[in-house]
Amino acid sequence: MQEQQGKTATSTNDAALPAEPDIDALLDVADEVAITWVREQRQLDEVIDALETCGRVALDTEFIKRDTYYPRLALVQLNIGDHIYLLDAPKLQLEELWQVLSEVDIAIWHACGEDLSIFYLLSGCPPLTNIFDTQIALSYLTGQLQMGYQQALAEQLDMHIDKEHSQSDWLQRPLTEEQEQYAIDDVRYLPALYLSIEYALKSQGLYDYVWADCQLYADELYQAQQVADDAMYHTMADYRYTSQQMAILKSVSTWREELARATNQPRTFIIKKQAVREIITEQPKSMRELAHKTTMHRSMLRLYGEELLKVIKDAKALAPVEQPKPPLPPYRSKNKALAKAVQAAVDKQAEKLGMPSTVLMRKKWLHQLYEVVAYDKDLSEMPKGLQGWRFEWVTQTLIPVIETHKAELQQGMGVKTRDA
């Protein structure tokens, strides 16, 4: 394995420790903030001007994607500190807004996964580098990886809000008073939450680590948007599949993705994952078998059954050289020496840095790292999360620990060695 230069967590935001925020004063400001609906294109100019000078913006979106492939953006909420703007998205051209949002110093979100996915889809912007996700940040302070916004406000600010309207119809106009209040509250207290978290993180020397992981997440979401249709099957691949089963999976997954996009339906409306797995194992040859051996919805079967059977037949006819290989098997072993040694190393480093071990090392990263060591891959094939500020520790401490148990690792992954 060849080493590469490690990167450290860097940001322009690691200034001197800020003054401890006055939470009561911040909440008073939040309660008095001006609120403006933006329903006409000319009004958006005021929002753009405000964003260009605000430095920080807290934001959220409301959308509907229950019955479509492409989400329908209904509302964008922006809080620049002294003003909240509610953007009536269906009535506006938002291209300039997306560009300006990508250029502010800090864009504050809570659990930004779906929001950023929509941002990338609509904006065409490259990966954002200004993201601060308060959910990621709170995982460093609490060890809870997916703390909801309601719980975050309650625990960090002693502020309680209603979240029961999250699944309502955001495209209806006018919104109900309850919907509007819900939308406002989603960003009303985000600046205060950020300042509270920022102080805690900088007090503990954790801010730069969080900042780096937020940008890593923003990049991961961007890359997920770039996956080609014929590569979508990787998310459902199983190391126990044969190469022929993998060929069927790839063909069915690609067909489903293309059809979902063309008809603007959720991919699960066409075939759910369970039915895809049934097709792979049963390999139906007729409409009768497709109906009786899979849980494919009958309406979809009537519409697309014959077409799907041809997809399956063509996939089975592929030559072995054209069939994709199954993924590598995960590490499995009754011998716990490796797992205990790795966990001890992770716990030690997490304690040294003052962060939970669950945010220092994700299970997915560790499994990928096992593959790198077991198969003697280049270090550039490590996940991106281990090539940033974790790189030096991983290469100088963690990999040597794994190497000590390499025979157990390779045996647990079914790697054939020269000595075997």
Q: Across residues 26-32, what is the average pLDDT? A: 95
Q: Stretch 184-205: mean pLDDT, rounded?
A: 97
How sure is the predictor about 3, in pLDDT bands with cuts at 50, 70 and 90?
very low
Average pLDDT for 3-20: 56
Q: Quote the crossing angle between the two packed helices 273-282 and 243-263, to the nearest 10°.
A: 140
Q: How many residues does the chain have?
A: 420
The pLDDT-based confidence of 5 (bands split at 50, 70, 90) is: very low
Q: What is the pLDDT of residue 228?
A: 95
Same domain, 200 and 347: no
- CATH code at position 86: 3.30.420.10
pLDDT value of residue 15: 52
**Interatomic CA distance for residues 213 and 61, integer angstroms:** 22
Question: Residues 373-395: what's their mean pLDDT?
Answer: 97
Determine the pLDDT at residue 9: 47
The CATH number linked to 251 is 1.10.150.80
In the prediction, which pLDDT does 142 show?
97
Same domain, 42 and 128: yes
Whether the predicted model's global pTM rises above the 0.75 cut: yes
Whether residue 400 is contained in a domain is answered as yes
For residue 420, being part of any structural domain is answered with no
Average pLDDT over residues 187-207: 97
Q: What is the pLDDT of residues 208-260, one digit of tens each?
A: 999 999 999 999 999 999 999 999 999 999 999 999 999 999 999 999 999 99
**Is 330 inside a domain boundary?**
no
Q: Are residues 293 and 406 in the same domain?
A: no
Residue 166 has pLDDT above 80, yes or no: no
Range of the domain at 76: 23-225
Q: Are residues 185 and 253 in the same domain?
A: no
Domain assignment present for residue 206? The answer is yes
Q: How confident is the model at residue 54 (pLDDT cuts 50, 70, 90)?
A: very high
Stretch 115-120: mean pLDDT: 95
C-alpha–C-alpha distance, residues 5 and 223, integer Å: 23
Within the chain, how many helices (H) and strands (E) appear? Answer: 20, 6
